[in-house]
């Protein structure tokens, strides 16, 4: 094994850990600043399952792109409101 390959294998768990910590902190920040008050007590895994686990596909028809989402209207409205609040944070 070359030393370059060994360094990649050693750095990989640290990289996954850093990405996980960054994701956790961003979701917590979103939870406290953007989401409604009834989401403040939820755990990160609950937020991930309830909010981000949405199945969607891009549909191309008549020279237009559509995003077909299989989620309730309430969930879509919550995501749109959260997006608008994030844009307002600038």
Phi, psi of 35 (to 5 degrees): -75, 155
Task: Quote the tokens at residue 25.
Answer: 């902190």
How many structural domains compose the chain?
1
Region 8-14: mean pLDDT is 67
Please report where in the chains the tokens 């910590």 appear, as a residue.
21
Give the model's confidence band at 9: pLDDT under 50 very low, under 70 low, under 90 confident, else very high: low
DSSP 22-89: HHHHHHHHHHHHTS-GGGTT--HHHHIIIII--EEEEEEETTEEEEEEES-HHHHHHHHHHHHHHHHT
Domain that holds residue 71: 3-88
> What confidence tens digit (pLDDT) does each residue in 31-87 have?
999 999 999 999 988 888 888 888 888 999 888 998 888 888 888 898 889 889 988
Q: Which tops the pLDDT comparison, 90 or 43?
A: 43
Rounded CA-CA distance 51/73 in Å is 12
- Residue 13 pLDDT > 90: no
């Amino acid at each position: 094994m070359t030393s370059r390959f060994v360094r990649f294998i050693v750095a990989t768990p640290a990289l996954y850990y850093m990405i996980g910590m960054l994701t956790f902190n961003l979701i917590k920040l979103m939870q406290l600043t953007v989401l409604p008050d009834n989401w403040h007590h939820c755990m990160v895994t609950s937020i991930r399952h309830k909010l981000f686990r949405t199945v969607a596909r891009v549909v191309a028809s008549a020279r237009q792109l559509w995003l077909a989402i299989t989620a309730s209207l309430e969930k879509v409205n919550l995501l749109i409101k959260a997006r608008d609040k994030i844009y307002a944070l600038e």
